[in-house]
Amino acid sequence: MSTEERHRRIGDLLRHREHVTVDELATECGASGATIRRDLDVLELHGVLRRVHGGARSLVLRGGNPEYGQRELEDHTVKVRIATGVAALLEDRGHVWLDSGTTATEVARQLRHRELTLMPMSLRAVNVLAEGCPAAGRRPELLLPGGSLIAGEQSFRGPMTESNIRSLRFDTAVVTPCALNLRDGLLAHDLDDAAVKRAGLESAGRVIVACSGSKWNASAVALVASLDAVDVLVTDRHFSPEELAQLAQHSVEAVIV
């Protein structure tokens, strides 16, 4: 098992358990205790867990939103597929609003060499786009929203952020909700995050939602928008004929990757 695979396995175990021991992880991952201890040290630095004597504890509150470092480990291959699908829907020289979150960061990686004007909602995406830009040739132009920067998430929030978004008009908004269902539409775990997402999609001519199947029918407290606000849903979920019919009633095109 590679280092990346071990990290993902440890993160997955801590999604469902409050505590794991080094010995349990060594057996689970087929690695030595020393290797697991180094893995735990790295994952603690990334905010995935808290090291305790003999093992690690989860930082995820029951029913809460996992920290960015934890979410970054989840469904990574799926997020790359979704990001690739989103990038294929964007035309060069367009103006794009890009949400915050781990899936949005993967979308940013796909857009590093595209001729687009982008307003990313997180410093993580900004860094991906800035570091990936060549000195010459095709590269995006970046607009920064300003506002308050949320530690950990490194995302922009607050009235200044919302005001700056609403002062512009975008061809496309790429929205990454925390949860999604047919009854409520797009949801977020945080009220301020929901307000920023709402400002982004309301300032765009087209709304693309990038959302893994794991978020389908999940729960979150803050309503962002109904499905009527969505034009395209890019996901790995394979819908039933009934679900596809309901999406069609809301004029949502489903792109399965």
- Give helix then strand counts, H and E, for the chain: 10, 15
DSSP state of 22: H
Residue 134 in this model has a pLDDT that exceeds 60:
no
Chain segment 13-50, per-residue pLDDT in tens: 877 788 899 999 999 999 999 999 999 988 887 667 78
Under the banding of pLDDT at 50, 70 and 90, the label for residue 2 is: confident
Mean pLDDT of 129-156: 82
Mean pLDDT of 99-126: 94
Residue 135 in this model has a pLDDT that exceeds 60:
no
Residue 114 in this model has a pLDDT that exceeds 90:
yes
User: Are 155 and 121 a contacting pair, CB within 8 Å?
Assistant: yes
Query: What pLDDT, on the 0 to 100 scale, is given for residue 33?
Result: 92
Mean pLDDT of 161-170: 97
Chain segment 204-235, per-residue pLDDT in tens: 999 999 999 988 988 888 999 999 999 999 99
Tell me the torsion sign for CA atoms 205, 210, 215, 219: negative
Q: What does the mean pLDDT of the chain come to?
A: 88
Residue 127 in this model has a pLDDT that exceeds 60:
yes
Residue 65 in this model has a pLDDT that exceeds 70:
no
Query: What pLDDT, on the 0 to 100 scale, is given for residue 18?
Result: 81
Residue 251 in this model has a pLDDT that exceeds 80:
yes
Query: What pLDDT, on the 0 to 100 scale, is given for residue 61?
Result: 47
Under the banding of pLDDT at 50, 70 and 90, the label for residue 129 is: very high
Q: Beta-carbon neighbour count of residue 62 at 10 Å?
A: 6
In this prediction the pTM is 0.74
Closest CA to 139 of 129, 151, 154: 129
Q: Please give the share of the chain, as a percent, with pLDDT higher than 70.
A: 90
Better-predicted residue by pLDDT, 150 or 109: 109
